[in-house]
Structure 1
């Protein structure tokens, strides 16, 4: 099982915030935050993703990170939501892939941040 640094827990117990950041602030930092919520709060992937999205609307973990989070969800034995929708989702649960089956940031140009 994954090892989680205790610093975030110590900060939370002390009532102080924890800054999680990455270059663009939409993929890597979101992925680690979602994983932390899954590990500590036992949220499934959709619950953790939605929790973070409500706090920060412009999140877009890349396709590979989402796959790793799905694997982590299985490792933690957390139950994913099963959508029964066919074409248009009416269940109001998260669907991480666009209709083209790609992640929202799959075409990101990293050199634009340098």
Structure 2
């Protein structure tokens, strides 16, 4: 039985179990190419992205993914910032939407 307030991290490859306090965060680079930060039972992944809107206009940006979903900021060719919500739609592909209903297809760089 796990004591109250302690999370157990299960990994898919042979490694000793790791116990962390809920208040602690850690960096884990053992099995992924991108660093991930663990906070409160989940991982946050940070990616640089590039892609196009439905009209073919290019954008770049930086996003934080929490499991299948995330948030981030995109920059258009005029360096205008757009805050977006994202979701994974492929292994390296994301779909982003802003609060005005605009959509972007993005790839992780």
Indicate whether the TM-score tops 0.5. no
Q: If the length of structure 1 is used for normalisation, what is the TM-score? A: 0.25
Q: Decide which structure has greater strand share.
A: 2
Bigger RCO (CA 8 Å, 6+ sep): 1
Q: Decide which structure has greater helix share.
A: 1
> Larger C-alpha radius of gyration, 1 or 2?
2
